[in-house]
Chains A and B, each alone.
Chain A
Amino acid sequence: MQTQDGIIAEQSGIPKQNYLTNGTTLKSWLLTKDHKRIAIMYLITVSLFFMAGGIYASAIRLELLTPPSDLLESGTYNKVFTQHGILMIFFFLIPSIPAVLGNFLLPIMIGAKDLALPRINLLSLYIYWIGGALTVWALLQGGVDTGWTFYTPYSTTFSNTYVMAVGLGIFINGFSSILTGLNFIVTVHTMRAPGMTWFRLPLFVWAQYATSLVMILGTPVIAITILLLAIERFAQVGIFDPSIGGDPILFQHLFWFYSHPAVYIMILPGMGVISELISNFSRKKIFGYEFIAFSSIAIAVFGFLVWGHHMFVSGQSIYAGLVFSFLTMVVAVPSAIKMFNWTATMYKGSILFETPMLYAIGFLGLFLIGGLTGLFLGSMGLVVHLTDTYFVVAHFHYVMVGGQVIAYLGGIHYWWPKMTGRMYSEFWGKISAMLVFIGFNLTFFPQFILGYLGMPRRYASYPEEMQVLNIFSTAGASVLGVGLIMPVVYLTQSLIAGKPAGDNPWMFPGLEWRTSSPPPTENFEVTPVVTWEAYEFSDENGLDIDEARRRQAVTTV
């Protein structure tokens, strides 16, 4: 083995010069303009927020183990689920894939030296930190209990918690994602390497582009809405408060104008990652490239036309409800197209079952259920019974966790060798992927039934006859928790003890696999010239498969 290790080492060791070794002082990190370092800093922060949100989540599940509100009294419970929502949505789900994977990979995938506006990229990180710090400060001061939706007039007039501070934090954080989106759009337009035409872009880039559009067009609206909320709260003006002439439904319109598209900000990048995983690990060109690419754009555009389906019972007009319901049904189609294309991609492939592929297959199942239950909630007759019940909770956790988080984990595992140059333990990777899948279903599937039984959201105490299902759910949550903690351990361990991954461990054709791992500071020694289509596995993609086979043979003797 020694000799073989030696062989691997010399054939594919960690290159001496890479973006990690280029400057080691704290200053070299905090003032870096390198998109890869910024991505790493995002990765660390985002993970911290994810853990914080996870702790709140476990508190919720423990409280719901028993019908009465005994573990947490209802006031505390309200704060807990509110802060779970705020941290997870605004500080984990929205930034995670774009700011971490997108930041790291988008320039490499299109063969650029860096993002178009590196300083703005750094600025967005700092804005994210400031917003996050402000929010965390507010949570430590005593938190907020309005629900992450900040519905008026409760949030403006009745809640006596730190609404304004948290709102300000979200307001600031919004500009971080605006700047990231701006940067991506510019980069994709101007920074593509020679030969990298629009239809040679990896689908991950298409997805990021669509996401950026939503960020640019939607986020400013939530910013101004939160601003109005804060002003109203301290000036008691009441454009949202009916007791002085305002209209709470207006707040819901403005809020959901962003917050529904925000759901696509969260899921679209996930879809991009899955397209990468499925296609590559099937060693096969993706099925219907154009359709997947355009369905991303279609989702981004149509996503802006359906926000009213959050307000079917909130007092909006019947006519408006009909229109929104119709458009909601329409927006289901692009997602279906993606789903079918992914499935078809596996046909006649040569499928490799590494951890990322397990996550991808898990995504297919969970997102399928998430999407279909979305239809339940888009059809008005049913939604009157289902809104504000646990059915909704289960649905969006299937889309957000089962979709976005699974895709994020898959992406992290997939590109981990590229980011760090080291390979994690495949065995533990597979175990945790399984655990996450099982635990997740056990946690959230019972909640569909609970929802149809009518258990309302945001309840600290619930009728006895619903306890059995809640116990299932809590049990599943504990499994899920274990599954989510494991990667933290073995990925960290791989940093020290992981064996060098080599530049292209799986012999994939994407540009990111054609530079050393970890990549050098400007990504490529020479600007690449792209002559092959996306996911080109045939021989004209310029990869030396035979050499790779020989190396494999040596290592696996």
Chain B
Amino acid sequence: MLQVGLTHFLVVSAILFSLGIYGIVTRKNAVMVLMGIELVLNSANINFVAFAKYGNYGLGGQIIALFVIILAAAEAAIALAIVLNIYKTFANVNVDEIDKLKE
């Protein structure tokens, strides 16, 4: 019987983290990039909860995860507003085409 332990959580978290980074750097659509960011945040959340659970650290980890989730929501709200704004100005939300500011 497979015993689910800390390592498994950490592996999942690492995969999520990597996928998140990958998404951030490869996705064209700004919304998809934001999704990548969410993945990174959630990988951290998994860490927090897993550590709290398996390290017997009390409830601290879980509470932190809650904070992060709330914050992620706030961030998403602002981010989407900005993306909307971008759409208004550039008529698309492709992050690689928004490069007027350079050099």
Q: Do A and B bind each other?
A: no
List the interface of chain A (C-beta within 8 A of B): none
List the interface of chain B (C-beta within 8 A of A): none
